[in-house]
C-alpha cells in the first residue's frame, strides 16, 4: 500500500489531492491473477464475476499490501472521546467491511472498492437550512478543524471494533448551514453510481437493497456531541471500503446507521426512510440504538465478538453495553421512550 505519504498543512497544498486519490496501482490485481492461475483455477475464476474471483483470492490471500492510496492527515486529538479499549489494528479495520454497494462478503469491499474515485466529490447540505452548502473534496478536509476520536463500533451482526476516526462533529457542519427551526430530522444519502458500484447494478450482489443507501437521524441525535463526520481513520484519509471520502459515525447505534460515501445531507420536518428499515422493518428499526436487552429477531444482542489483532477467528466475546457504553452522553435523548418499541 502506498500509505504514509506525509502531507504537511493539508489545506495549503491542494495539489496532493489529485495525485493521492486518483491512482490505483494494478500490481495486486495482477499478482492475484497469477496466484489463481498457478493454482489451476484460472479458467474457472475467469468465468466468474469479479467479486467471486476476489473471494477465491481471499481464501489464499493474507495480509498483502492493498492497492488503494491514502494520504496522511493532520489533526488534533480530542481527549474527551478516547475509548480506552484496545484498538482494532488498521489491517483488520480495512479488511472486514460492510459496504453492500461493493458486495455482501466481508472482504468484497476491500477488493471491489479499490478503484473507486473519490475526487472530485461533492457533499451537499440542503433542505431546511439558511445557507445550503456544497463541500468539494478539498473542503471536506479544510472547512472545519480535524480532530481524532477513538470510538467503539458495534455492528448489528454482533461483531465490534475500536477505531480511531478523524473528522469533525456533525453538529458543527449542520451549524455552518444554519438549521431552520422547522427542521426535525436529518436524511443522509450515499453516492448512486452503478458504473463504479457493482452492487448497485446487480441486485444479488447488492444484497437486495434499493439504492442509493439512505439513513436518517432525529435532529437532536444529529446534534449530539458524539455524532461524527469521518474523513479519515488512524492517521490516514479513509480507504474506499471504509466509506471514502466522507461518512457518518454514530458509536451508540448499530453500524448500519453509519452511512458511507455520502453526497447528500438534507434537513427535513418528517422522518426520512432508511435502507435497512425499508428492507426488513421488523429486524432493523429507525433508531437502531445498541441494546443488549433487545435481541435481533434472529440472534441475541447480549454479547459481541470484539475484533482485535487475531481478526474475526480469534475475536473475544464480550458483553454488549447499553448504547454501546455511551449512555452517559445519549440516554437523555430517549427519556420516556420504550426502547423495545423504538428499536
Ligand atoms: N453505508 C453504505 N452506503 N452501504 C452499506 O452497505 N453498511 C453499513 C454501514 N454503512 C453500509 C454503509 C453497515 S451494515 C455497517 S456495520 C458499517 O457501515 C460498516 O462499517 P465498516 O465497514 O467501516 O466497519
Q: What is the pLDDT of residues 89-135, one digit of tens each?
A: 999 999 999 999 999 999 999 999 999 999 999 999 999 999 999 99
Instruction: Look at residue 129 and tell me if it is in a domain.
Output: yes
The response to whether 259 counts as a known ligand-binding position is yes
- Residue of 100, 206, 260 with the most ligand 1 atoms within 8 Å of its CB, for mutation: 260
Index of the ligand 1 atom closest to the CA of residue 161: 24
256 lines ligand 1 (CB under 6 A): yes
Residues of the chain with pLDDT > 70: what percent? 80
Q: Any bridge partners for residue 159, and if so which?
A: 305
Q: Residue 31 has what pLDDT?
A: 36
Instruction: Look at residue 304 and tell me if it is in a domain.
Output: yes
Instruction: Look at residue 11 and tell me if it is in a domain.
Output: no
Instruction: Look at residue 328 and tell me if it is in a domain.
Output: yes
The response to whether 13 counts as a known ligand-binding position is no
Tell me the CATH number at 200. 3.90.420.10
- Other Cβ atoms within 10 Å of 170 Cβ, number: 24
- Cell (9 digits) for 131: 445557507
The position carrying cell 430530522 is 185
Whether the CB-CB separation of 231 and 140 falls below 8 Å is answered with: yes
Q: Any bridge partners for residue 164, and if so which?
A: 150
Instruction: Look at residue 63 and tell me if it is in a domain.
Output: yes
Instruction: Look at residue 318 and tell me if it is in a domain.
Output: yes
d(CA 173, CA 195): 30
CA of 189 from ligand 1 middle (Å) equals 13
For 143-189, the pLDDT digits (tens) are 999 999 999 999 999 999 999 999 999 999 999 999 999 999 999 99
The answer for residues whose C-beta is within 8 angstroms of residue 126's C-beta and 6 or more apart is 132, 133, 264, 265, 266, 267
pTM listed for this prediction: 0.84
If one compares 8 and 170, the residue with the highest pLDDT of the two is 170
Instruction: Look at residue 46 and tell me if it is in a domain.
Output: yes
254 lines ligand 1 (CB under 6 A): no
CA of 260 from ligand 1 middle (Å) equals 6
CA of 32 from ligand 1 middle (Å) equals 26
The answer for residues whose C-beta is within 8 angstroms of residue 142's C-beta and 6 or more apart is 10, 11
Q: Residue 65 has what pLDDT?
A: 56
- The whole domain housing 253 covers 20-332
Torsion angles phi and psi, residue 93, rounded to 5? -60, -35
Instruction: Look at residue 339 and tell me if it is in a domain.
Output: no
**Number of compact structural domains in the chain:** 1
Amino acid at each position: 500500500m502506498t500509505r504514509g505519504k506525509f502531507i504537511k498543512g493539508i489545506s495549503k497544498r491542494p495539489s496532493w489531492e489529485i495525485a493521492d486519490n486518483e491512482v490505483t496501482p494494478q500490481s495486486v490485481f495482477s499478482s492475484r491473477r497469477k496466484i489463481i492461475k498457478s493454482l489451476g483455477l484460472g479458467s474457472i475464476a475467469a468465468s466468474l464475476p469479479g467479486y467471486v474471483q476476489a473471494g477465491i483470492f481471499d481464501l489464499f490471500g493474507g495480509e498483502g499490501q492493498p492497492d488503494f492510496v491514502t494520504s496522511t492527515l493532520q489533526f488534533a486529538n480530542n481527549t474527551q472521546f478516547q475509548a480506552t479499549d484496545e484498538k482494532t489494528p488498521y489491517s483488520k479495520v480495512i479488511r472486514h467491511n460492510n459496504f453492500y454497494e461493493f458486495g455482501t462478503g466481508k472482504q468484497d469491499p476491500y477488493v471491489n472498492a479499490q478503484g473507486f474515485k473519490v475526487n472530485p466529490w461533492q457533499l451537499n447540505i440542503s433542505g431546511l437550512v439558511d445557507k445550503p452548502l456544497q463541500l468539494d473534496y478539498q473542503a471536506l478536509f479544510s472547512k472545519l478543524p480535524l480532530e481524532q476520536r477513538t470510538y467503539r463500533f458495534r455492528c448489528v451482526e454482533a461483531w465490534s471494533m475500536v477505531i480511531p476516526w478523524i473528522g469533525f462533529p456533525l453538529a458543527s457542519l449542520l451549524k455552518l448551514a444554519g438549521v431552520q427551526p422547522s427542521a426535525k430530522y436529518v436524511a443522509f444519502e450515499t453516492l448512486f453510481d452503478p458504473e463504479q458500484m457493482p452492487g448497485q447494478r446487480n441486485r444479488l450482489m447488492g444484497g437486495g437493497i434499493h439504492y442509493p443507501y439512505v439513513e436518517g437521524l432525529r435532529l437532536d441525535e444529529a446534534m449530539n456531541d458524539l455524532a461524527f463526520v469521518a474523513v479519515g481513520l488512524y492517521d490516514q484519509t479513509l480507504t474506499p471500503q471504509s466509506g471514502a471520502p466522507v461518512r457518518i459515525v454514530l458509536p451508540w447505534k448499530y453500524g448500519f446507521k453509519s452511512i458511507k460515501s455520502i453526497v447528500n445531507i438534507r434537513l427535513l420536518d418528517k422522518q426520512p426512510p432508511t435502507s435497512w428499515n425499508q428492507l426488513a422493518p421488523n429486524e432493523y428499526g429507525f433508531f437502531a440504538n445498541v441494546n443488549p436487552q433487545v435481541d435481533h429477531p434472529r440472534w441475541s444482542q447480549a454479547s459481541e465478538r470484539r475484533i482485535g489483532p487475531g481478526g474475526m477467528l480469534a475475536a473475544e466475546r464480550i458483553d454488549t453495553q447499553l448504547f454501546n457504553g455511551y449512555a452517559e452522553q445519549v440516554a437523555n435523548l430517549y427519556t420516556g421512550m420504550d426502547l423495545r418499541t423504538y428499536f
